[in-house]
Structure 1
Amino acid sequence: MKRILILSTGGTIASVKTKEGLTPKLGPEDIFVLAGVDRNIASVEFKEILNIDSSLMQPEDWELIAKEAFAGLQKYDGIVVTHGTDTLAYTASMLSFMLKNLEKPVVLTGAMIPAGMPESDAHRNLRDALLFASSNFGGVFVAFAGKIMKGCRTSKVSTVRVDAFDSINYPVVAYISDDGKLSFNVSPTELTGRPELDAKWDSPVFLLKLTPGIDPRIIGKLVEMGYRGLILECFGSGGLPYRKRDLLKEVEKVANTLPIILTTQVPYGIVDLREYEIGVRAMRAGAISAYDMTREACVTKLMWALGHSSDVEDIRRIVHMNVSGEISIPSEEA
């Protein structure tokens, strides 16, 4: 029987009703008992490292979770992290960069309905996380609603459905049936080195969603505020407006000294700066293409990259380096 460590961080799965609304109160063993998970799946031990609503999660907490998970992997066969759903995809993405070349699984999960409430999805999700954490499939993953997804490819897509997460621009890694049968959908990623904890990061990063009519001066204001990197959620495959209100000009002013990543507001698809004239202009201005990364991967990878370098070209290289399967670059551009 595999030995699995459950690290709890709070979230809906750990919440109980209070006068102030749902509040994380349950410890990891309480969650396990209330969820009614079969103890014969694995030999389980528990450790609470946080107990917060995941909207309160901060980059310092990602570093803590990464260090606890990496330490646990020295002793256990796999790690399960229970987490609130609101920022779970950000945590899963950052752990994918901080925990490199894993030979064992680290699986994040949570619930849309608290473990102690009727019709909770905590049982299904926690059971599935344990099943996959007991496999030999190394890396960082998310278990939710019968799907196992690569951590750096996962995004929350619903605030109401129990099937709240999708795998973006990447196949679901595995499916788990109602009766607990695990079916793999992709092959394990070939490791490029030994397992490594690389928890360096720097957080002054801003994600800006573009809208028609946006004032270009916002770029300069963000630089003045001390942000060290920007991610612009552009239109379509990387459209950066320059007519009447010239955002492109403002990007060009700072792109040589501050990394600016262009991602898309469309959940599925790729940023292709070579397809349209408007994208070519952005590329010439020095913008960095996110290609098919999720917004969560863009934000966390830029923070992680800034922890390793302040040079824009170094950061461009790191952003376009495939660390954990988070990015696919067309062969003609690689």
Structure 2
Amino acid sequence: MKKILLIATGGTIASRKTLSGLAPGLSAEELLAQVPDVRKFCQVEVVQPLNLDSTNISPGDWLLLGGVIERNYDSFDAFVICHGTDTLAYTAAALSYLVQNTSKPLVLTGAQRPIDAEDTDARQNLMDSFRYACSGDSGVCIVFGGRVIAGTRARKTRTKSYNAFTSINFPELAELRDQRVLRFIPFRESGRPVFTRELCQRVALIKLIPGLPEGAFSAIGDRCDGLIIESYGVGGIPDVYLSELDRILQAGKTVVLATQVPQEGSDLSVYQVGHRLRERAGLLEPYDMTLESTVTKLMWVLGKTREPGEVRRLFYTPVNFDLLF
């Protein structure tokens, strides 16, 4: 039988009721006790490095999880990470960059209701995650609501429904149905994994709205090394912000011009307001990448280098299906 490490981090799946609302309270052992049938097809050990509502998850916690996986990598066949849903997509994307070329599955899951609730989705999600972890596929992914989504392609699109996550601009990798894994895109890495132990946390995001004060670009841009701008449609910057944008770029900051629209990605070549930005040094375009992947990939890239040419090369190197050309 496959040997799986269950990594518990808190979240709704492990929450209990309190006078002020749900809060993480169940241990990793208590989570595992809720799915005793897992023992029929795999061996499981548990570790609990965190016990947080995922609202409180930070890049430092992603590095902590990456370290747990690195230290235990040779002792287990796969890893299942229980995590709160609110930042689950960010963590899945971050781990896709922190643990690359993994021949072992890194499966993230969670729930919309606590695992000890009568009508919970948690037990099914957790069972599905263990089943997928034993299936032979590899890489970082999210298993949720019977769907398997690449770690760089997930977004939480529903706040309460059990089908909370959507694969953005990329097909689902598989489904779990009647205790079987139905693969659509088999994915098997080989060789030794590549672990990263550093992220640049000086990355920020600004979302364009009509009438945004001009000084907002400087207020945020001056305090970070990488700035992501969520623009409109396929991408562009209103004329009033161009001088501020140039000043930020001339200061050596990396700027990524993304889109607020979830599906189909950016294309700065379409309109004049976007086309004139394409040749500006230091400005990157994420194309069909998700916001979650754009944020975490920029942290990963800037944690490795600040040389503009190398930043561009790494940003445009596909990882775990994050970017299609």
TM-score, with length taken from structure 2: 0.96
- The Cα offsets for residues 3-46 of structure 1, whole Å up to 9 and x where unpaired, read as 11100000000000011211101011211223555321311111
Matched with 1:228 is 225
Matched with 1:288 is 284
Identity value in percent: 37
Secondary structure of the corresponding residue to residue 137 of structure 2: coil
Are the counterparts in 1 of residues 97 and 319 from structure 2 also a CA contact under 8 Å? yes
Which runs of structure 1 show a deviation greater than 4 angstroms over 4 or more consecutive aligned residues? Answer: none
The residue identity in structure 1 corresponding to 2:320 is S
Gaps of 5+ in 2: none
- Give, in angstroms, the shift of residue 199 of structure 1: 2.4
Matched with 2:10 is 10
Correspondent of 2:324 among 310, 325, 328: 328
Instruction: Map residues 1-334 of structure 1 onto 2, 5 A cutoff.
Output: 1-35=1-35, 37-177=37-177, 179-188=178-187, 194-224=192-222, 226-242=223-239, 246-256=240-250, 257-286=252-281, 287-329=283-325
What's the C-alpha RMSD, in Å, of the aligned pairs? Answer: 1.4
The residue identity in structure 1 corresponding to 2:285 is S
Within 2, Cα distance between the matches of 1:187 and 1:300? 24
Are the counterparts in 1 of residues 10 and 24 from structure 2 also a CA contact under 8 Å? yes
- Give, in angstroms, the shift of residue 91 of structure 1: 0.5
- The Cα offsets for residues 140-176 of structure 1, whole Å up to 9 and x where unpaired, read as 0100000011011111111111110011111100000
The residue identity in structure 1 corresponding to 2:238 is P
Are the counterparts in 2 of residues 233 and 264 from structure 1 also a CA contact under 8 Å? yes
- The Cα offsets for residues 223-242 of structure 1, whole Å up to 9 and x where unpaired, read as 33x21110011101112211
Distance 1:36 1:22, change over 3 A: farther
Within 1, Cα distance between the matches of 2:241 and 2:48? 46
Number of residues of Structure 1 aligned to a counterpart in Structure 2: 323
TM-score, with length taken from structure 1: 0.93
Matched with 1:332 is none
Within 2, Cα distance between the matches of 1:304 and 1:99? 11
Secondary structure of the corresponding residue to residue 6 of structure 1: strand
The residue identity in structure 1 corresponding to 2:293 is A
- Give, in angstroms, the shift of residue 190 of structure 1: 5.4
- Give, in angstroms, the shift of residue 249 of structure 1: 2.5
Within 2, Cα distance between the matches of 1:187 and 1:138? 9
Gaps of 5+ in 1: 330-334
- The Cα offsets for residues 253-307 of structure 1, whole Å up to 9 and x where unpaired, read as 2224111101111111121111221111121334210111110101111111110
Within 1, Cα distance between the matches of 2:47 and 2:158? 29
